[in-house]
Amino acid sequence: MRVALDTNVLAYAEGVNGVERRDAALAFIRRVPREATTVPVQVLGELFNVLIRKGGKSRSEARDSLLSWRDAFPVIETSPEVMIAAVDLAKDHQLGIWDAVILSAASHSGCRLLLSEDLQEGFTWAGVTVVNPFSTPQHALLKGLLEQDDESSERSGV
């Protein structure tokens, strides 16, 4: 199952909103199967701004963080088709355009989950379900993904 990470997950992993939130985000990211995880390019742009505005990082530090995430996970580009679908999504469901771009990119790349704290958990569009990775109890789809990865790790002895 392919998943996309939203800006808040990466921002928290960078320490925005404190050590407790950082540790939770990093622990979560370590559990999600790396080979199934992607980052929409829009997320990288938003992350750059958040790291400067809220995280107190310099532009150079924010750039380094962005490049680190780009190297860690495949990046989903925003094509013209993604943008048009996002505009329709924003219009039809009253979403902000940039949230719609992220959701549209996730759908176009074959993701089943968008891990986000910002959008309504359980909202499903074009095959992608929004799941808050920090909610308790965990959404059934996310719980299944993590359990599947835990079982794979146990079989491989990791």
Q: Is the pTM of this model over 0.85?
A: yes
**Per-residue pLDDT at 155:** 44
What tokens does 83 get? 């943008």
Between the CA of residue 9 and those of 3, 87, 90, what are the distances in Å? 12, 24, 22
User: Which CATH homologous superfamily contains domain 3-156?
Assistant: 5'-nuclease (3.40.50.1010)
**Per-residue pLDDT at 145:** 81
Alpha helices in 3-58 (DSSP H): 7-13, 19-31, 41-53
Mean pLDDT by runs of 10 across the 158 residues of the chain is 95 94 92 92 97 96 97 96 97 95 97 93 94 88 75 50
**Per-residue pLDDT at 150:** 54
Only one residue has tokens 């990046």, namely 75
